[in-house]
Amino acid sequence: MSVDLQHRLKEIAKECGGNRALCERSGISERTFANWLSGASEPKIIGIAAIAQAAGVTIDWLVHGTTPKSKVGFRTEGGPDIIKIPWIDKKLLNQPLPILQRLRVINHVPFFKGYLKNTLHLSDLNQLCILKMHGDSMKPTFADNDIVLVDRSRSDMSDGIKAFVLEDTITLKRVIHKPNELEVVSDNKAFYPSYTIGRNTVQILGHVVWVGTSVL
């Protein structure tokens, strides 16, 4: 891979808020992207296209350095059309504080405000957070390492896929409400049977409204 392409990849990663932010937006793994930057591997066209789309640049500029650089109408990180949504660690801080004060932000992921409002129909963008799925208990809905968007304004006791706190850990499961208890259901039912827990043993953090998965 040419040194110029490596420089352009570093340039757009910086504009998007860092390698992790660009990788999360594009679906490219951080290890793959790091290998591109170091020259350990060559990006394939599908990877180039994903990075260009995520960063709002043309493929011609990214590969060859030809103008124009940006796609028409695209706003980069930090513009008025972008919001940085906090990425929350699934393990809560080990401190004697209310649950919401024990949430640990490990990064931020940029999203277009217009997409959140007009496509996902979300109103209070300040109540959104990002979590990462671990394991295969929610397949085929979620895969291991998928990231999900959680709307904390919807922490009510309605049925659906919820993020909830159980024993100092945030869990992502389908929840069915029953009198005085909750049925916790994994979509991968063949390997993960459902179970019930008392309503007072958990705190609903929010409702899952979007999932992003890796393309490579």
Domains and CATH numbers, the chain: 3-64 (1.10.260.40), 82-212 (2.10.109.10)
Q: Is the pLDDT of residue 216 over 50?
A: no
Q: Are 47 and 28 in contact (CB under 8 A)?
A: yes
Give the pLDDT confidence score for residue 80 in this predicted structure: 59
Give the model confidence (pLDDT) of 102-150 as tens digits. Answer: 888 888 888 888 888 888 899 899 899 999 998 999 999 988 888 899 9
Give the pair of three-digit tokens for residue 187.
């979509």
Tell me what the mean pLDDT of segment 173-195 comes to.
92
Least confident of 32-36, 162-166, 211-215: 211-215
Dist CA 40 CA 129 (whole Å): 34
Give the model confidence (pLDDT) of 50-86 as tens digits. Answer: 888 788 888 778 888 876 776 544 444 455 578 888 8
Q: Are 17 and 108 in contact (CB under 8 A)?
A: yes
Give the pLDDT confidence score for residue 122 in this predicted structure: 92
Give the pLDDT confidence score for residue 71 in this predicted structure: 56
Confidence of residue 160 (pLDDT cuts 50, 70, 90): very high
Give the pLDDT confidence score for residue 99 in this predicted structure: 79
Give the pLDDT confidence score for residue 214 in this predicted structure: 54
Dist CA 141 CA 189 (whole Å): 12
Q: Is the pLDDT of residue 93 over 60?
A: yes
Of residues 147, 25, 39, 129, the one with CA closest to residue 85: 129
Distances in whole angstroms, Cα of residue 121 to Cα of each of 67, 75, 89, 167, 191: 35, 20, 25, 32, 34
Q: Is the pLDDT of residue 47 over 70?
A: yes
Of residues 113, 110, 109, the one with CA closest to residue 88: 109
Give the pLDDT confidence score for residue 139 in this predicted structure: 92
Give the pLDDT confidence score for residue 215 in this predicted structure: 45
- Prediction pTM value: 0.61
Give the model confidence (pLDDT) of 23-45 as tens digits. Answer: 888 888 999 999 999 988 888 87
DSSP states of 16-64 as a string? Answer: TTSHHHHHHHHT--HHHHHHHHHTSSPPPHHHHHHHHHHHTB-HHHHHH
